[in-house]
A and B are shown apart, each in its own frame.
Chain A
Amino acid sequence: MKIVAVTSCPTGIAHTYMAAEALEQAAKDAGHDIQVETQGAAGAEAVPDAAIAAADAVVFAADVEVRNRERFAGKPLVQTSVKRAINDAPGLIAEAEAAARSGATAPVAEAAPAAAAGPQAPATKVDEGAHLGVRLRQWLMTGVSYMIPFVAAGGILIALAFLIGGPEVANKVNGGTFGGVKYAGVGDDLSKLVAVAGYAGLMFKIGAVAFSMLVPILAGFIAYAMGDRPALVAGIVAGLLANEIGAGFLGGLIGGLLAGAVVMWIKTIKVPRGVAGIMPVVVIPLVSTLVVGALMLVVVGQPIAAAQRALTSWLNGLSGSNAIVLGILLGLMMAFDMGGPVNKVAYAFGLGALASGNLKVMAAVMAAGMTPPLGLALATVLRKNLFTRAERQAGEAAWLLGASFITEGAIPFAAADPFRVIPSLMLGSAVTGALVMGFGNTSRAPHGGIWVVGLIGKPVLYVVAILIGMAITAAAVIVLKSMGHSETEIEPAASRQATAT
C-alpha cells in the first residue's frame, strides 16, 4: 500500500520530525511505502503530486493547520495529533489501511490516470485532460463529504417531525392547507413555534434550517477544495443564491465550481508585494464573490425561471393526455434534480392537481420522489465497494429520507457522480410514476412518504410501485458504476505491477 503523510507541530523542530520518523518506521514494518512531508522549521519538502495521486491513504499528524491541504482532497484520510503518531504509529498505519479499504473506490478511480501517466511523465495535453477529470471528482467529493452531515441531520429531523407530528406538521409551521384544514403557520415570530406547531414543529423547523444549508455547504466546499480558504465565501454565497433563485443542487454545484475557478484564476495574477498580503483576506473574497454572485443572479437565474414557466405551461397542456405518459414525465422530473427547479415544477403541478381535486398526480409525484434515496440506499448495501465510505454513510440515512419522501437524500450521490447517478434515478422514478398512474393510486397528502400510507388509495399496490422503482434505480446505478470502474481498474493494476518489478 502507498501512504503519504504530513506532520507538523507548533514549533516545528522536534515533534514534527519524531512523528515522521515513527510513521516511516511503522509503515516499513507493516510493508508499506510511505512518503512524509515534514512541515517544520527545516523547510518542508513537498510530497510530489504524483505520489499523492498514487497514494491509497493520507495521514495528517498535525497540531497546526496542514499547509496546502487541498492537494490531498478526495483521498481517504486519517487525521490525528502529532503526538498520536509518535506514541502509536503502528495503530495509525492500521487506521490508514482501514481508511484505504473502506474508501476503496475513490483512490482506484483517482489514482488511475496519474499512475498510468507515470510519476515523472511530462504534462502533455492528454494528461492534463485526464488530470482535470481526477481533480474534478476530488473537488466534488470534498463538497459532498461536508454536505452529508447536513443532509443526515436536517433530513432525519424533518422525517422524525413527520413521524411524530403527522403529515400536517409542515403546514402548521409554514402555513397552507392540508386535508381541507387551513393553517396560518407560525409566521415570523418563532417564539410561538412550539405553541402553534408543537415539538414536532420545532424539530421540523430545525431540520428545515439545516437542510437549507445543504446547497450552500456543497457549493462552498467545492470552491474550498479548488481555491482553499479564500474561495469559501464565494462558494457559499453562490450556493445561497442558488437557493434564492431556485436553482437547486445542480445550480449550487455549478456555482461552487465557478467560484473555485474564479479564485484559482485570480491567484495566478501577479500582484505587487504590498497588495499580496491582503489578497487572500480581502481582495480575492471580495472580487470572486461579486463576480460569481452576479453570474448566478444574471446568467443562471433568469433562464431557470423562464424554463420553469415553460415546463409548467407544458405540463398543464398535457393534463388531459395519457395518464401513464404523465406519470413517466413526472417521475423523470422528480428525479432529475432532487429538489431543484425541475423537481419543483413537478411537485407544484402535483399540489395544483391536489387542490383541484385530482388525487392521482400527487400520488405519482410522491412515489417518484421516494425511490431515488431508497434505490441508492439499496445499492450501497448490495455493492458496498462501488461507493466511498462517505457515500455508504449517506446511504444509511437515505433509507429514512426516502421513506419520508425527502428526495434530497439522493443529492450526495448525484453531486459526486452526476452522469451515472441521475439517469439511474430518473429511470426508477419514471417506472414508479407510470406504475402509480397505471394502478390508479391516489394521495390526499402532499408529503409525508410512507408515514401517510393511510391516506393513500390502494396502499399495497402503491408500495409495490415504489419497491419496483427502487430496485430498478439500484440495478441501474450498480451497472453504470461497474462499467465505469472496470476500465480504470485494469490500468492501475498493470502499472503498479510495472513499478513493483
Chain B
Amino acid sequence: MADLITPELVDLDLTATERGEATKALAERLQAQGRVTDLDQFLADVRAREAQMPTGIEGGIGIPHCRSVAVTEPTLAFGRSTKGIDWGAADGPAHLIFLIAAPEGGGAEHMGILAKLARKLIHASFRDSLTQAPDPEAVVTLVKKEVLGQ
C-alpha cells in the first residue's frame, strides 16, 4: 500500500481564501502524485459531499473528503492557512485543512486507516503539533507516527 501522506501532499502556506479554491489546490497535489486520476470528477465528488453538510468542525478544522472512482489509493493531503478559510463551522474559519481521498469500494483495511486518521483529528495535541510543524516532512512524520504507529 502506498504511503498515506508524503511531503509533496503537504502545503503549509495555502494561499487560497475560499473553500473550493483551497480544495482544488490540494487536489492538484493529489493528481500530481498519481493518487487522483480525474481531477474534475474528484472535485465534483468532494463538492457533492460538502453540499450535504459542510465538513468544517469547531477548532478551526476543515475535512473535505469523498469516496470517488477517481481515487487510486487512500490518501491525505494537508494544508495550513494562516488567514483561515470559511469551512462552515460555527466558531470561525478553518486553519487546518485535511483533504481525505478514499477510493470507491476501498477494502476494510484502507477504510480502517482513514478511520484511525479521523479519530486522531479530535485530539487537540495532534492539531497543535500540526499547527506548529516547521516543514512538510515534520507533518508526514507526525501523521505516520500518530495514525500508523510508524
A174 near B: Cβ within 8 Å? no
- Most B CB contacts (10 A, CB to CB) among A14, A25, A83 go to A14
The one of B58, B112, B116, B119 in contact with A87, judged by C-beta atoms closer than 8 angstroms, is B58
Q: How far is the CA of A21 from the CA of B57 in the complex (A)?
A: 14
| CB atoms of A21 and B118 under 8 A apart | yes
Is the CB of A20 closer than 8 A to any CB of chain B?
Answer: yes
Give complex CA distance A10, B52 in Å. 8
Residue A70 at the B interface, CB < 8 A?
no
Interface centre among B49, B112, B122, B123 (most CB of A within 10 A): B122
Interface size class of chain A, counting residues whose CB lies under 8 Å from the partner chain: 20 to 34
C-alpha gap A17/B123 in the complex (Å): 12
Say yes or no for A42: interface residue by CB 8 A criterion: yes
0/1 string, A6-34, CB within 8 A of B gives 1: 00001101111110111001000000000
A63 to B49, CA, bound (A): 12
A13 touches B100 (CB 8 A): yes
B58 CB contacts on chain A under 8 angstroms: 86-87
Partner of A25, one of B52, B114, B122: B122
Given A14-B63, A15-B63, A22-B122, do A42 and B115 touch, yes or no (CB 8 Å)? yes
A138 in the interface (beta carbon within 8 A): no
Write the chain B residue with the least CB distance to A10: B52
| Contacts A11-B49, A13-B118, A18-B121; A40 near B65 (Cβ below 8 A) | no
Chain B hits for A86, CB < 8 A: 57-58, 122
Instruction: For chain B, give the interface size range.
Output: 20 to 34
A42:B53 contact, CB within 8 angstroms: no
B53, B67, B106, B123: most-surrounded residue (chain A CB, <10 A) = B53
Asked if B15 is at the interface of the complex by the 8 Å CB criterion, the answer is no
A40 touches B49 (CB 8 A): no
Tell me how far the C-beta of B22 lies from the nearest C-beta in chain A, rounded to whole angstroms. 16
Q: Are A13 and B67 in contact (CB under 8 A)?
A: yes
A25 to B66, CA, bound (A): 26
**1/0 contact trace for B115-135 toward A, CB 8 Å?**
110111111000000000000
Cβ-defined partner of A83 (8 Å) among B49, B53, B65: B53
Measured CA separation A498–B52 after assembly (Å): 47
Question: Which A-B residue pairs are the 6 nearest by beta carbons?
Answer: A42-B111, A17-B118, A21-B119, A17-B115, A87-B58, A21-B122
B-to-A contact residues, CB < 8 Å: 49, 52-53, 55, 57-58, 63, 65-67, 89-90, 100, 102, 106, 108, 111-112, 114-116, 118-123
Residues of A within 8 A of B (CB): 10-11, 13-18, 20-22, 25, 38, 40-43, 63, 83, 86-87
Supplied contacts A14-B118, A17-B116, 7 more A-B pairs, CB within 8 Å: A10-B49, A14-B100, A15-B55, A15-B118, A38-B115, A41-B106, A42-B111
